Each structure stands twice: as C-alpha cells, then as structure tokens.
C-alpha cells in the first residue's frame, strides 16, 4: 500500500500519462490534417511542414536521449495509428492521403534528428 503513494510511483504514472497524451495529440494532428474528409492540398502541405518541424524540435530538446528511446517515446502513437489504419483502410489510401509519408518522415527524423542537428 505504501508503494502506491510513493513519490517514484506517482512520478512514473504522471510521466507516462503525459507521454500518452502527447502521442495522442501528435497523432490526432497528423490524422486531422491528412485523413479528414475536408483535407485539401493546404492541410496536407501543413502536415508535411509539421512532419519536418516537430521531430526537429523534439530532437533539439532531447539531445541526450537515445535514438531508439526517442522514437519509442514520441513515435509510438504514430506507429500504432499507422498499423491500425493500414489494416482498416488499406495501404493505398494511406499513401494517397499522405498520412503514411508524413508518419515515415516523422519517424526517420526522430531517429536521425540528432545527426542532422549536428550538421546545421
């Protein structure tokens, strides 16, 4: 019973609940900009712009974090959403709505963002 009220357990719960909310927010933004019925060329261009800027911001803020850890912490929501949508709507729909290219760009930049930041 004492473990439930310890500082480590509560900080663990707060940390991972924040990561779940952040992953849901990132996934929701990309899904809204690309998969919505009213998504046009402007919103898809905005999705590509965010797919480039969000991982660079995350990589610049968390330079000391391991590459794999960064992808797992900040890209898990996109990976799960992509897998679910590929099986429900099909891969051609995912490519034609530009959701899959945006997700791949985000995941690649999350993984290689620290190397690209060193060159800038």
- Identify the pLDDT of residue 11: 85
Domain count, the chain: 1
Q: Is residue 56 part of a domain?
A: yes
Domain with 48 in it? 13-119
**Tens of pLDDT, residues 10-50:** 888 888 999 999 999 999 999 999 998 888 999 999 999 99
Mean of pLDDT values over 87-114: 92
Instruction: Provide DSSP, the chain.
Output: -TGGGSHHHHHHHHHHHHHHHHHHHHHHHHHHHHHSTT--HHHHHHHHHHHHHHHHHHHHHTTTS-HHHHHHHHHHHHHHHHHHHHHHH-HHHHHHTTHHHHHHHHHHHHHHHHHHHHH-
Instruction: Please determine, for residue 105, whether its predicted confidence score (pLDDT) is greater than 50.
Output: yes
The reply to whether 2 falls in a domain is no
Residue 7 lies in a domain: no
* Phi (first) and psi of residue 67, to 5 degrees: -60, -50
Q: Do the domain assignments include residue 3?
A: no
Q: How far apart are CA 106 and CA 46, in angstroms?
A: 13
Q: Is the pLDDT of residue 1 over 50?
A: no
Whole-prediction pTM: 0.86
- Is 33 inside a domain boundary? yes
The pLDDT value recorded for residue 4 is 52
Question: Which structure tokens are listed for 25?
Answer: 């927010």
**What pLDDT score was predicted for residue 56?**
92
1 inside domain: no
Does residue 119 have a pLDDT over 80? no
Tell me if 20 is assigned to some domain. Answer: yes
pLDDT score, position 12: 86
Between 9 and 7, residue with greater pLDDT: 9
- The overall average pLDDT reported for the chain is 89
Whether residue 47 is contained in a domain is answered as yes
């Amino acid at each position: 019973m004492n473990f439930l009220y310890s500082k480590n357990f509560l900080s663990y719960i707060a940390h991972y609940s924040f990561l779940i909310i952040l992953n849901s927010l990132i996934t929701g933004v990309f899904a809204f900009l690309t998969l919505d019925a009213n998504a046009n060329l402007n919103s898809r261009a905005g999705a590509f712009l965010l797919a480039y800027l969000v991982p660079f911001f995350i990589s610049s803020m968390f330079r000391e974090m391991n590459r794999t850890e960064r992808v797992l912490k900040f890209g898990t929501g996109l990976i799960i959403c992509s897998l679910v949508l590929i099986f429900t709507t099909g891969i051609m729909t995912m490519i034609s709505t530009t959701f899959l290219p945006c997700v791949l760009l985000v995941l690649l930049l999350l993984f290689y963002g620290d190397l690209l930041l060193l060159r800038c």
